[in-house]
Amino acid sequence: MAAAILAFDDIFTINAIDKEGRKFDRVSRLYAQSKNYDMRLTLDYNIELFPLVNGQSFALALASSPCSRRANSRFRD
């Protein structure tokens, strides 16, 4: 089985949550700043699964998932 390739990895600190007010019962929108790449992140998340608070830091990693050769062929140039 092929390993996933890590495309991005950083630690973010939450600057604000629900600046415009909450629109859904179980979803909040956070605004965060990364530590290593000077990036800003806006992320909608489930508050029951991830009870985050303003000022908290969290790690975010994005990775590609391995897929079959046939499915992967449609993404090639």
Q: pTM for this structure?
A: 0.75
Q: What is the structure's pLDDT at 43?
A: 97
Distance separating the N- and C-terminal Cα atoms of the chain = 24
Q: What digits encode the pLDDT tens for the residues 2-46?
A: 677 888 999 999 999 999 998 899 999 999 999 999 999 999 999
The tokens describing 71, both together, are: 């499915």
Query: What distances in angstroms separate CA 2 from CA 54, 55, 61, one per listed residue?
Result: 38, 37, 18
- Assign domain 5-68 one CATH number from 3.10.180.10, 3.90.199.10, 3.10.100.10, 2.40.50.140: 2.40.50.140
Q: 29 vs 65, which has greater pLDDT?
A: 29
Sheet holding 57-64, edge to edge: 40-46, 27-34, 5-17, 57-64
